[in-house]
Amino acid sequence: MNINATLIGQTIAFFMFVWFCMKYVWPPLTAAMEERKAKIAEGLAAGERGKKEHELAEKRAKEVLVDARTEASDIINLANVRAGEMVEEAKGKALEEAAKVKKGAEAEIEQEVASAREALREQVSVLAIAAAEQIIKSEIDATKHKSLVDNVSSQLGSA
Amino acid sequence: MSGENLTSSEYIKHHLTNLTYGQHPDGSWGIAHGADAAKEMGFWALNIDTIGVSVLLGALFIYFFKKAAQTATAGVPSGLQNFVEMVVEFVDDSVKDSFNGRNPLIAPLSLTIFVWIILMNAMDLVPVDYLPSLGQLVGIPYLKVVPTTDPNMTFAMALGVFFLILFYSVKVKGFGGFFAELAFHPFPKVLMPFNLFLELVSLISKPISLALRLFGNMYAGEMIFILIAMLPLGAQWALSVPWAIFHILIVILQAFIFMTLTIVYLSMAHEESH
């Protein structure tokens, strides 16, 4: 329990340990700790950012979905309208066509009737002449009674 | 008890005697046998046990902390690194709390003081007879295991801190500023001698209080361990276990106090005037 030269030795040892600690222990440890601190802060910030981005993306996706839905319903509506229009149009066209066909058919029929009547008239007149010839052959001369025969034939034609 | 033929006071004395190497009064060099012989050696003698144990513990501290520092990465820390970082962070926080200013020495100094003192104090928790008995077996007559129960150890550290206080006082304030702080405070300049006396006492009391506080606490603790060790075998554990548990607190607390006061004193040395 006396003070002796141990005091000096221990003071030197003390400073040596302090120096060693200051040189080789403290700086790398605190540097590593600082670095980790920065890393963790960065990681946390990145996580926060990612979360925010995710939220934003979700919101955007929802908006896009809503847009798509309204657009789809618009398209369907439009298609419905267009289909109705097309049906109407087709109907109109069909009616028109039908009317045209009917008209053409009617005209043809009329023409047929007219030509048939003409043919009939000619045949009747030939028949009448033939009959008249037979009669007249027996009674009168053809040249003498021509006006009479013509008159009959024209009467037949107007009938 | 280590020997049957020892009386109680001899036992206690034996435990409290350092292994001192020096020059005997008759001129020969050797190990002092007993406290009186050590006293006769005067100042130029060395307490080999104090130096040996403390340097060993200091080397242990440096070894483990250096190992952690070498492998330190910013990634997930391993067990040793985790522990070391915990200690470092604790010391760093203490320094940041009490020390205003920038000095790259303060934090490593505090760390060294804190860990070294804890390690030396913790030697108190080794049962008091283990190491001295082992020493006697291999021919070492005296072995005081706890370096901080040797005033040489505590005063050495306190003196180290005192030198740093003086050094930084002069470095920051200059000789004039430091003298002014001692001489022109707290009373007007006319009372300079009185001021000087007061301030010098308060300055010198810093290392003395540092050293004696640590020494006194550890010495008393060690003494109680020795006294407990003299009880009958069955009764020892009933006292030594609670005392050891309580002593764990003292071990760490004294290291913390020494460190904190060092930081505070050095902080005061860096401040212009108070």
Report pLDDT digits (tens) over B26-39.
Answer: 888 888 887 788 88
Residues of A in contact with B107 (CB under 8 A): 26, 30
Unique residue bearing structure tokens 């070492």: B140
DSSP state of A21: I
Q: Say if B28 falls within a structural domain.
A: no
Kindly report the backbone phi and psi dihedral angles of residue A144, in degrees, each rounded to the nearest multiple of 5, phi listed first: -65, -40
Helix axes A6-20, B151-183, angle to 10 degrees: 80
| Burial label, B111 (beta-carbon count in 10 A; 0-12, 13-18, 19+) | buried
* Cβ distance of B74 and A35 shorter than 8 Å: yes
Burial (0-12, 13-18, 19+ Cβ within 10 Å), A128 = middle
Catalytic residues of B: 209, 213, 217
Q: For residue B3, what pLDDT band results from cuts at 50, 70 and 90?
A: very low
What are the chain A neighbours of B69 within 8 Å (beta carbons)? Answer: 24-29, 32
Q: How far is A64 from chain B (nearest CA, A)?
A: 42
Quick check: helix, strand or coil at residue B18? coil
Check if B75 contacts A (Cβ < 8 Å): yes
CA distance B99 to chain A (A): 17
Phi, psi values for residue B22, rounded to 5°? -175, -165
Please check whether residue A40 touches B, CB under 8 A. Answer: no
Write down the pLDDT at residue A73: 96
Return the exposure string of A58-70: e unless at least 16 CB atoms fall within 10 Å of the residue's CB, then b. eeeeeeeeeeeee
Number of cross-chain residue pairs from A and B with Cβ atoms under 8 Å apart: 135
Element (H, E) at A119: helix A26-139
Burial of B199 (0-12, 13-18, 19+ CB in 10 A): middle
**Angstroms from B90 CA to nearest CA on chain A:** 12
Partner residue opposite B54 with nearest CB, options A13, A35, A38:
A13
Distance CA B252, CA B148 (A): 13
Q: Residue B4 pLDDT more than 60?
A: no
- Output the pLDDT for position B2: 44
Distance CA B193, CA B199 (A): 10
- Side chain identity, residue B179: F
Inside any domain, residue B121: yes
pLDDT, position B11: 85
Specify if B228 maps to a domain. yes
Between chains, do B51 and A13 touch, taking CB under 8 Å as contact? yes
Domain-embedded: residue B163: yes
Pairwise CB contact (< 8 Å): B152 & A3: yes
Cβ–Cβ gap B152/A17 under 8 Å: no
So what's the pLDDT on residue A106? 94
Q: What is the mean pLDDT of residues B41-55?
A: 89
Q: Are B58 and B52 in contact (CB under 8 A)?
A: no
B23 within domain boundaries = no
**B20 lies in some domain:** no
pLDDT band, residue B247 (cuts 50/70/90): very high
B119 in contact with chain A, both atoms CB, cutoff 8 A? no
Mean pLDDT of B8-21: 85
Question: In the 8-state DSSP scheme, what is residue A22?
Answer: I
Does residue B254 lie within any of the structural domains?
Answer: yes
CB spacing of B156 vs A14 below 8 angstroms:
yes
Which structural domain, as residue segments, surrounds residue B189?
50-129+148-270
Amino acid A21: pLDDT: 92
Check whether the bond before B108 is cis (ω within 30° of 0): no
* Contact between chains at B107 and A29 (C-beta distance less than 8 A): no
Whole-number Å distance between alpha carbons of B49 and B55: 10
Spatial distance between the Cα atoms of A104 and A96, rounded to a whole number of angstroms: 12
- The count of domains in chain B is 1
Q: Which residues of B touch A39 (CB under 8 A)?
A: 74
Residue pair B270/B168 in contact by the 8 Å Cβ criterion: yes
Looking up tokens 């320094």, which residue turns up?
B95
* pTM of this structure: 0.74
| DSSP assigned state of B186 | S
Tokens 């490593």, located at residue = B108
Question: pLDDT value at position A17?
Answer: 93
Q: Is B161 helix (H, G, I), strand (E, B) or coil?
A: helix
pLDDT averaged over chain B?
A: 88
Q: B197 in a domain, yes or no? A: yes
Residue B188 three-state SS: coil
pLDDT along chain A (159 residues), means of 10: 85 93 91 91 96 96 96 96 94 94 94 92 86 75 71 75
Q: What pLDDT, on a 0 to 100 scale, did the predictor assign at position A159?
A: 61
- Cβ of A6: how many Cβ atoms within 10 Å? 29
- For B:190-229, CB contacts with A below 8 A are none
What's the confidence (pLDDT) of residue B1? 42
Cα distance from N-terminal residue to C-terminal residue, chain B: 54
Q: What is the DSSP letter of A140?
A: S
Q: Which residues contact B68 (CB under 8 A, 6 or more apart)?
A: A29, B80, B81, B83, B84, B85
Q: Which of A9, A18, A29 is nearest residue B85 as measured by Cβ atoms?
A: A29
pLDDT of residue A152: 78
- CB-CB contact of B181 with B198 (8 Å): no
Q: What are phi and psi of B57, to 5 degrees?
A: -70, -40
A111: its two tokens? 């023409």
Q: How far apart are CA B232 and CA B1, in angstroms?
A: 10
